[in-house]
Amino acid sequence: MPRAQTKTTYVNDRYYIDYNSGEVIKEEHIQQVKKGVEPPFVKLYLEHIMAFSDIPKNTSPILLEILKRTTYADKKDPDGGQIIYLNSALRDDISKIVKKSRSTIDHSIADFVKANFLKKIVEGKYQLNPHLFGKGEFKDISNIRATYDYKNRAVTAEIIEKCEENKELWDTIDLKEKANVN
C-alpha cells in the first residue's frame, strides 16, 4: 500500500567566487519542492524461503537476479504477469553478474521450478509463484490464483478478473490454507 503523500524540500546555495580576490561575485539560493508518493517495495528474506526448500543457499543471488527482471503482476496479461523470459542471453548475463557457470544457472532454474518458486509456462518463459513472491500492486498479484499439486509436481494458474466478486471464494481459500498450515 502506498504511503501518504510526502513533501521534500531541497535547498541549494551556490556561490560564485573570484579566486583572485576571494570576493563573492554571485549568490544563488535554489529551493526545490518534491511531492510524491513512495513507490511500493518488498522486503525479501531469501534465506528463509530457501531454508524451507532443498535448494542450496548459494543459489539465492541467482534467484534475486531473476526476481529483479520479472514483469509486474498485470491482470491484462494472459498469464497474469510476474513473468520472466529466461533466454540464453539473459542466462549468460546472470552467469556473469553472480559469477557462476552457465551450467549452475541452468540447474538452479530447474531447481526453482521443482521447488515451485517458478512455474514454467513454455520453453524460456516462467512465472513467479504468487504465494511466495509479488511484484506490483497487491490487487494485481492476488488476481493470480494458482493450484499446486505437490504430489504430481503440477501447477495450474487461473486469472481472476475481479477479486471483490470472489470475496467468498478467497475467504474459503484462506481458511483452507490456514487449516493446511496448522
User: What would the pLDDT profile of 85-101 be if each residue is shown by its tens digit?
Assistant: 999 999 999 999 999 99
Q: Which helix (H) or strand (E) holds 121?
A: strand 118-122
Hey, what domains does the chain have and what are their CATH numbers?
Answer: 6-36 (no CATH), 46-181 (1.10.10.10)
CB 24 within 8 A of CB 15: yes
Range 156-169 burial, b when 16+ CB lie within 10 A, else e: ebeeeeebeebeee
Confidence of residue 181 (pLDDT cuts 50, 70, 90): very low
Q: Give the residue, 36 or 59, on which the prediction is more confident.
A: 59
Q: Tell me: the pLDDT tens digits for 72-87?
A: 888 788 888 889 999 9
Rounded to two decimals, the pTM is 0.56
Mean pLDDT across the stretch 6-27?
A: 79
Q: What's the pLDDT at 61?
A: 93
Angle at 112 between CA 110 and CA 115, to 5 degrees: 110
